[in-house]
Amino acid sequence: MSKSTINHVAQLAGVSIKTVSRVVNNEPNVHPRTRAKVEQAIEKLNYVPNQSARNLASHHAQMIGLVYEDPSIYQLPSAGYVLRLQEGTLRACRASHFELLIHPCNYHNPTVGEELKAVIQQVRPAGLVIAAPLSNMPKIVRAIAETGTPYVRLSPGSRSAKDFYLATNDREVSAEMTQHLVTLGHRRIAFITGHPDHRAVSLRFEGYKDGLAQSGIKFRPELVEAGDNSFLSGEESGYRLLQGKTPPTAIFAANDDMAAGVIRAADRLKIRIPDELSVAGCDDSALAQQVYPALTTIRQPISKMAEQAALALIDKSRNRQSAESSETRIIPSALKIRDSTGPAPG
């Protein structure tokens, strides 16, 4: 492995190491001819700057840290979420020659704050992307803030944060989905709520009510069932709703797993989808496409949010001034209309 250093390059190019440093870092004040010479030398020697040396001298690593709740406790459903986070962050990193450090953690671990601080102090990443739900947990955010490392919070739904964060329009898009069902002729539209701890999920319920109101349809409490985000709870809610006296013609669940449960319930009850019942979910998880019929759902821009967060951090570490550390950016979610929704029967 070639282990040429900045000194070798400087020697070959006949300049000082500072000049090499300038061209490597794309700094101004280098004569084009000099730059060309240096670039040639770099090419010839196959020079790659040593990150550790760079980090030591510049006080931070060319690295972005991604912090999220460890999915193993959630089981596999959130696999897609984590992968999308990683995908977006990686896209940003790749473009800028940064590397990605992943750090899942358990919120319930009492020393998680110390742990995070230690990691940050050890590695000194240029910035941290904090994913929901950790991004809404004061303990976590405070610990990270205390280190002085720049960070961006990813909080779908939330809109109250004071520092730099990215969110999506969960509430608005849920209203949009509701209106979509109304447009298809549905009037009795049920909703299955999710786990109360999950902030974004409860915003979806608000969005559902907004959508009804905007369409001039009265909200009926009897068309609301409480789920807990699981497939099973969706299935049970489905039975209750569909076996009631005046069953809905459409069911909107606060996540895909529950919507899939509804599909199973309908299947068992010999109710055809979408002919007799429309079903909509939320998340666009892997399940949405595996289920039959493929699920109409809402796709959150997880990957894009993560990408923008990382990009902002990378930017900040370059133009050290930028900052605007209390910006807020909303990246809209999108309806994914598939086969589980259709015109209302009759």
Q: Which of 7, 36, 44, 56 binds a copy of itself (CB under 8 A)?
A: 56
49 near a copy of itself, rule: CB under 8 A: yes
Q: Which does 90 bind (CB under 5 to 8 A by kind): a copy of itself, DNA, none?
A: a copy of itself
The H-or-E segment that residue 100 falls in is strand 99-105
Smallest distance from a copy of itself to CB 141, Å: 15
104 near a copy of itself, rule: CB under 8 A: yes
Q: Considering only the stretches 7-15, 217-225, 282-290, 303-311, report the one whose residues sit in contact with DNA under the rule CB under 7 A.
A: 7-15
Per the CB < 8 A criterion, the answer to whether 166 and 308 are in contact is yes
Count of residues binding DNA (CB under 7 A)?
Answer: 29
**Any alpha helices (H) in the chain, and if so which ranges?**
6-13, 17-24, 32-45, 51-58, 79-96, 112-123, 138-146, 170-183, 199-214, 231-242, 256-268, 286-290, 302-318
Q: What is the DSSP letter of 345?
A: P
| Distance (Å, whole) CA 104 – CA 113 | 13
| Distance (Å, whole) CA 185 – CA 51 | 60
25 near DNA, rule: CB under 7 A: yes
Smallest distance from DNA to CB 98, Å: 13
| DSSP characters over 213-253 | HHTT----GGGEEE--SSHHHHHHHHHHHHTSSS--SEEEE
Spacing of C-alpha 217 from chain mean position: 33
Q: Which of 17, 30, 101, 224 binds a copy of itself (CB under 8 A)?
A: 101
Q: Considering only the stretches 35-43, 94-102, 163-171, 244-252, report the one whose residues sit in contact with a copy of itself under the rule CB under 8 A.
A: 94-102
Smallest distance from DNA to CB 51, Å: 8
Q: Which of 49, 104, 247, 293 binds DNA (CB under 7 A)?
A: 49
Find the binding residues for a copy of itself in span 247-286 (CB under 8 A).
260, 264, 286
3-state secondary structure of 160: coil
| DSSP characters over 41-79 | HHHHHT----HHHHHHHHTSEEEEEEEEE-GGGT-GGGH
| Distance (Å, whole) CA 130 – CA 138 | 12
Chain residues binding DNA by CB under 7 A are 3, 5-7, 14-19, 21-22, 24-25, 28-31, 33-35, 47, 49-50, 53-54, 56-58
Chain residues binding a copy of itself by CB under 8 A are 1, 48-53, 55-56, 61-63, 71-72, 76-77, 79-80, 82-83, 86-87, 90, 97, 99-104, 117-119, 121-124, 146-148, 231, 260, 264, 286-287, 290, 292
